[in-house]
């Protein structure tokens, strides 16, 4: 079974909500809220739940202190584990994102102050993806929310965070905790490869992974000191790496990087760029990374750890663009050119988590939620996580399995509506997933010449499709009632 087949089996949103959240009625309510939001993910609560009684029931549920974020997200974690078990070898993508909300006249309780006009919190996310080349997203194994203590307004808020999230004020602990949590929840059903960008470049994290024999691919943020086998002295990594000849060249896809939604510091360090096909060279070697000398707090750790390093360098970058240059440390083998590029492809899987964050914030409009406390926002996030995963999975399936029959995902009614209402779309005798998602985008206002549709246009199109389907079913119901009179 490949990862695309696993996704086709796991798309019903109700399957992501199960387990014990204290009361079977709460579980039923959570499923009902999720199913309604999944139909119109980019719209506000009042738009989705137009009836005042239904809307108030949603707010009561989110405010219910007997409902907790971790318990509410537990069903999705379990479903993610089941999908991972069917594949046997998966990547766990680790990264941190910031959820930012407009500051209202009265501050939202429990959120950190990000600027004069915004409040929010951060979350360290562990997203599971297939390692079979298709890079299919399988769901979240863990989401750890946190804030910085100095951004909170009161001791009461700090107490709330301390009671629910131990070590909430230690930003680095989230990395080691995430890796350990993934191994505990998934390590008995699949072989895990932990993947992280430069933020994961820390000696204590690399030491934890190596000492436990856990697999990883992490991009270095700095030129680390390594043991020189020729001199027996400490030297910079590039001095040892330069002794290795270039093994091969290949063209890789480099993702687009835009400034929208990024901090000024991140924009300066990692400038915006257009997506492109880049011709790169690759070389690799085995090294012994030395423990940092200016970190006495690491004295209990081994003085050296053995890792493989794969260096990727862009050969002819476009004028005015920074060349691609990755230094990847890994436990994966590097004995052949194919194995080197396997490491590169595993690192490129990390970009799926960036798309997941866009799916949460833009596709599901989470950053626009008008909720007044960290408790309600976290409960809303727990419901949003599997919906955002489902959106990402549908979009990903269109790219990795475009010729798959859409009947595996959409109903006959939905397909018929798309065929009749999405103008200018071509359909095969057996409609495909790619054709259907393009038709959904057309409903949302997408123009073919604009390239692949984004989250907003897909969200608008999906909402229109759901409204049309609801109207169709009401019409059929009225017709049945008239014929029975």
Given a cut of 60, whether residue 2 has pLDDT beyond it is yes
Given a cut of 80, whether residue 31 has pLDDT beyond it is yes
**Cα 2 to Cα 4: distance, rounded to the nearest angstrom:** 6
CB of 132 closer than 8 Å to CB of 153: no
Strand pairing partners for 437? none
**Cα 124 to Cα 136: distance, rounded to the nearest angstrom:** 20
**Cα 393 to Cα 287: distance, rounded to the nearest angstrom:** 38
Judged by average pLDDT, the poorest of 83-87, 257-261, 281-285 is: 257-261
- Domain 402-477: what homologous superfamily? Transferase Inhibitor Protein From Tn5; Chain (1.10.740.10)
Given a cut of 70, whether residue 262 has pLDDT beyond it is no
| Antiparallel, parallel or unpaired: β 215-219 and 191-196 | parallel
pLDDT score of 139? 95
Contacts of 85 (CB under 8 A, 6+ apart): 189, 190
**Cα 159 to Cα 382: distance, rounded to the nearest angstrom:** 22
User: Can you list the positions of beta strands (E) in 22-158?
Assistant: 89-102, 112-113, 118-130, 137-146
**Cα 287 to Cα 75: distance, rounded to the nearest angstrom:** 42
Residues of the chain with pLDDT > 90: what percent? 54
Q: Tens of pLDDT along 452-466?
A: 777 677 767 877 887
**Cα 390 to Cα 359: distance, rounded to the nearest angstrom:** 9
Contacts of 326 (CB under 8 A, 6+ apart): 219, 310, 311, 312, 344, 347
pLDDT score of 352? 94
CB of 369 closer than 8 Å to CB of 41: no
CB of 384 closer than 8 Å to CB of 366: yes
* Tokens 């993508």 sit on residue: 93
**Cα 321 to Cα 302: distance, rounded to the nearest angstrom:** 40
**Cα 168 to Cα 170: distance, rounded to the nearest angstrom:** 6
**CA–CA distances in Å: residue 9 to residues 28, 31, 40, 265, 409:** 22, 18, 22, 42, 9
Q: Pick the more confident residue, 281 or 395.
A: 281
Alpha helices (runs of H) in 167-282, residue ranges in sequence order = 173-186, 203-211, 237-241, 264-269
Given a cut of 90, whether residue 3 has pLDDT beyond it is no
pLDDT band at residue 396 under the 50/70/90 scheme: confident
pLDDT score of 413? 87
**CA–CA distances in Å: residue 26 to residues 67, 162, 204, 338, 451:** 8, 26, 41, 50, 42
CB of 76 closer than 8 Å to CB of 386: yes
Q: Pick the more confident residue, 407 or 241.
A: 241
């Amino acid at each position: 079974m490949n990862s695309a087949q696993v996704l086709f089996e796991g798309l019903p949103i109700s399957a992501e909500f199960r387990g014990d959240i204290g009361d079977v009625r709460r579980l039923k309510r959570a499923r009902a809220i999720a199913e309604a939001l999944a139909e119109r993910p980019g719209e506000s609560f009042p738009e989705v739940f137009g009836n005042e009684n239904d809307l108030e029931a949603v707010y009561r549920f989110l405010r219910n202190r007997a409902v907790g974020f971790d318990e509410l997200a537990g069903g999705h974690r379990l479903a993610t584990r089941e999908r991972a078990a069917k594949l046997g070898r998966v990547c766990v993508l680790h990264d941190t994102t910031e959820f930012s909300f407009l500051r209202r006249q009265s501050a939202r309780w429990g959120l950190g102050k990000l600027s004069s006009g915004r409040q929010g919190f951060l979350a360290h996310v562990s997203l599971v993806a297939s390692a079979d080349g298709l890079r299919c997203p399988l769901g979240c194994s863990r989401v750890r929310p946190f804030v910085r203590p100095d951004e909170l307004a009161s001791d009461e808020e700090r107490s709330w965070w301390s009671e629910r999230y131990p070590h909430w004020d230690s930003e680095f602990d989230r990395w080691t905790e995430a890796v350990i949590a993934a191994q505990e929840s998934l390590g008995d059903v699949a072989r895990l490869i932990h993947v992280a960008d430069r933020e994961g470049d820390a000696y204590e994290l690399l030491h934890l992974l190596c000492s436990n024999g856990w697999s990883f691919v992490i991009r270095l943020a700095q030129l680390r000191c390594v043991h020189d086998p020729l001199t027996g002295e400490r030297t910079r990594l590039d001095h040892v790496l330069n002794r290795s000849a270039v093994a091969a060249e290949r063209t890789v896809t480099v993702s687009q990087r835009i400034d929208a939604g990024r901090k000024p510091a991140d924009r300066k360090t990692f400038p915006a760029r257009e997506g492109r096909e880049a011709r790169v060279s690759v070389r690799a070697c085995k090294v012994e990374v030395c423990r940092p000398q200016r970190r006495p707090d690491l004295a209990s750790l081994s003085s050296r750890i053995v890792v493989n390093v794969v260096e990727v360098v862009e050969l002819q970058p476009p004028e005015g663009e920074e060349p691609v240059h990755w230094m990847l440390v890994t436990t994966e083998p590097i004995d052949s050119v194919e194995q080197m590029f396997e490491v590169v492809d595993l690192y490129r899987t990390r970009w799926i988590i960036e798309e997941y964050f866009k799916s949460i914030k833009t596709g599901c409009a989470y950053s626009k939620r008008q909720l007044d406390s960290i408790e309600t926002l976290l409960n809303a996030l727990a419901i949003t996580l599997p919906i955002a995963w489902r959106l990402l999975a549908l979009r990903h399936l269109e790219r990795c399995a475009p010729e798959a029959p859409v009947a595996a995902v959409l109903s006959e009614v939905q397909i018929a509506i798309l065929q009749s209402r999405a103008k200018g779309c071509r359909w095969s005798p057996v409609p495909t997933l790619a054709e259907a998602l393009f038709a959904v985008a057309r409903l949302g206002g997408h123009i073919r010449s604009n390239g692949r549709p984004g989250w907003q246009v897909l969200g608008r199109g999906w909402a229109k499709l759901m409204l049309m389907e609801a109207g169709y079913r009401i019409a059929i119901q009225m017709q049945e009632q008239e014929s029975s009179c």
